[in-house]
């Protein structure tokens, strides 16, 4: 036999508690027993989002959640400012273009983070910007943007702040209400420890006002339809949801609550620190800005003469260790280790041990155990 390890920034491993909860007999999505489970899960989700706002849920991948924000908040021709620091910022641009929005692109090199001053200047110059679309943890580069600072700037204007926190929520701090985020999008399959298939959107009062005026076409992702269904007796979704996944979600959020969000975030910080220490000890370079690294994923530059795709392929095929390659323009140039969600200390040790062996086989000079030693030194200090 061969044991498989999944260390990508989504999908992520699902705890057995969650898998077992999902294996229970099917229940009906209009029955009170479903309504109760869904309401409880959405309440617990507010705790993770750190919000008092309604959190809506859709059976779709995270990108569906992003699309839901665009179609519900804006009208054709509306001007939006999109900050692009990687692949997922680009996705905001693509969705906005699809719906005929007037996109002002604030573009950075991949690996850089958004300079909040640039947002302030853009809003100063173009008073008709209706929304700012940003990425919290930019999964393609391993960098986390300063949502708090951007939130302060946007809150002082009539525009709304829309945050893609799909890989960030539950791994990197994000205070939806305190940081004045109007719409926050999350997905089930990253730090929330749930299988793929659910998207979430928290919606502020300021954002609901835009929803009232929006004229973009929408049906499945209509926020008003979704909110109305939640108010029914029993509470429900307008169309058949991924019932089993939502039952699993209840279990995953129970685990997060039991550990405590503060500890969950600290654990991610520790794992991020250990992983980065191990990588540096191997003489490898991290990708992206030093002071703002995400604790959800570690992006590593492929060493001279080695294609990152080969590292990923050999780790998976020879060792059963799945990590992620670089996306789009950094394909081959970087590889990424995901550690958001159901991860603990020895997952980091395992992935580093595997990486050492694979790099060695590719001719990179490695002293086996050097990365592992640096990581365990970080972990030991925290115990």
Ligand X SMILES: *Cc1c(COP(=O)(O)O)cnc(C)c1O
Residues found near ligand X in the complex (CB under 6 A): 9-10, 61-63, 88, 135, 139, 164, 166-167, 187
Query: H helices of 231-301, where?
Result: 243-259, 261-281
Buried b vs exposed e over 341-367: b needs ≥16 C-beta within 10 Å? bbbebebbbbbbbbbbbbbeebebebe
CB-closest chain residue to ligand X: 62
Beta bridge partners of 293: 143
CB 108 within 8 A of CB 83: yes
CB of 140 to ligand X, least distance (A): 8
Give the whole-angstrom CA distance, residue 33 versus residue 13: 27
CB of 124 to ligand X, least distance (A): 28
Helix (H) or strand (E) holding 5: strand 5-6
CB of 10 to ligand X, least distance (A): 5
CB of 9 to ligand X, least distance (A): 6
| CB closer to ligand X, 187 vs 308 | 187
CB of 160 to ligand X, least distance (A): 18
| CB closer to ligand X, 173 vs 356 | 173
CB 147 within 8 A of CB 172: no
CB of 192 to ligand X, least distance (A): 12
Token pair listed for 379: 């972990």
CB 11 within 8 A of CB 196: yes
| CB closer to ligand X, 9 vs 13 | 9
| CB closer to ligand X, 61 vs 322 | 61
| CB closer to ligand X, 18 vs 133 | 133
CB of 61 to ligand X, least distance (A): 3
| CB closer to ligand X, 174 vs 271 | 174
Q: Report the candidate in 165, 150, 137, 380 with the shortest Cα–Cα distance to residue 277.
A: 380
| CB closer to ligand X, 75 vs 292 | 292
Q: Report the candidate in 180, 138, 163 with the shortest Cα–Cα distance to residue 66.
A: 163
Quote the strand ranges of 44-94, DSSP E. Answer: 54-59, 79-84
């Amino acid at each position: 036999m061969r044991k498989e390890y999944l260390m990508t920034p989504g999908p992520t491993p699902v705890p057995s508690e969650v898998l077992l909860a999902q294996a229970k007999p099917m229940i009906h999505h209009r029955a009170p027993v479903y309504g109760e489970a869904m309401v409880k899960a959405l309440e617990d989700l507010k705790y993770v989002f750190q919000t008092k706002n309604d959190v809506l849920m859709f059976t779709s991948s995270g990108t569906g959640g992003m699309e839901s924000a665009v179609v519900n908040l804006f009208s054709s021709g509306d001007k939006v400012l999109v900050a692009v620091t990687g692949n997922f910022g680009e996705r905001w641009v693509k969705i906005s273009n699809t719906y005929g929005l007037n996109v002002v692109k604030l573009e950075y090199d991949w690996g850089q983070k958004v300079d909040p001053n640039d947002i302030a200047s853009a809003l100063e110059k173009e008073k008709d910007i209706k929304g700012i679309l940003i990425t919290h943890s930019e999964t393609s580069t391993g960098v986390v943007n300063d949502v708090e600072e951007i939130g302060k700037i946007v809150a002082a204007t009539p525009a709304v702040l829309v945050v893609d926190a799909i890989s960030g929520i539950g791994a990197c701090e994000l205070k939806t209400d305190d940081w004045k985020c109007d719409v926050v999008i999350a997905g089930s399959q990253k730090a929330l420890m749930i299988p793929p298939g659910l998207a979430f959107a928290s919606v502020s009062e300021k954002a609901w006002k835009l929803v009232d005026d929006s004229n973009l076409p929408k049906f499945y992702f209509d926020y008003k339809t979704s909110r109305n269904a939640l108010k029914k007796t029993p509470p429900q979704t307008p169309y058949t949801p991924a019932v089993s996944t939502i039952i699993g979600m209840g279990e995953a959020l129970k685990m997060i609550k039991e550990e405590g969000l503060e500890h969950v975030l600290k654990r991610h910080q520790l794992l991020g620190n250990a992983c980065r220490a191990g990588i540096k000890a191997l003489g490898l370079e991290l990708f992206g800005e030093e002071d703002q690294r995400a604790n959800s994923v570690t992006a590593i530059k492929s060493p001279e003469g080695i294609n990152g795709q080969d590292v990923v392929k050999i780790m998976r095929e020879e060792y059963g260790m799945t990590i992620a390659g670089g996306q789009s323009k950094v394909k081959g140039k970087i590889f990424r280790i995901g550690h958001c969600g159901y991860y603990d200390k020895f997952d980091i040790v395992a992935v580093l041990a595997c990486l050492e062996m694979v790099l060695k086989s590719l001719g990179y000079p490695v002293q086996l155990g050097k990365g592992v030693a640096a990581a365990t030194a970080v972990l030991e200090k925290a115990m």
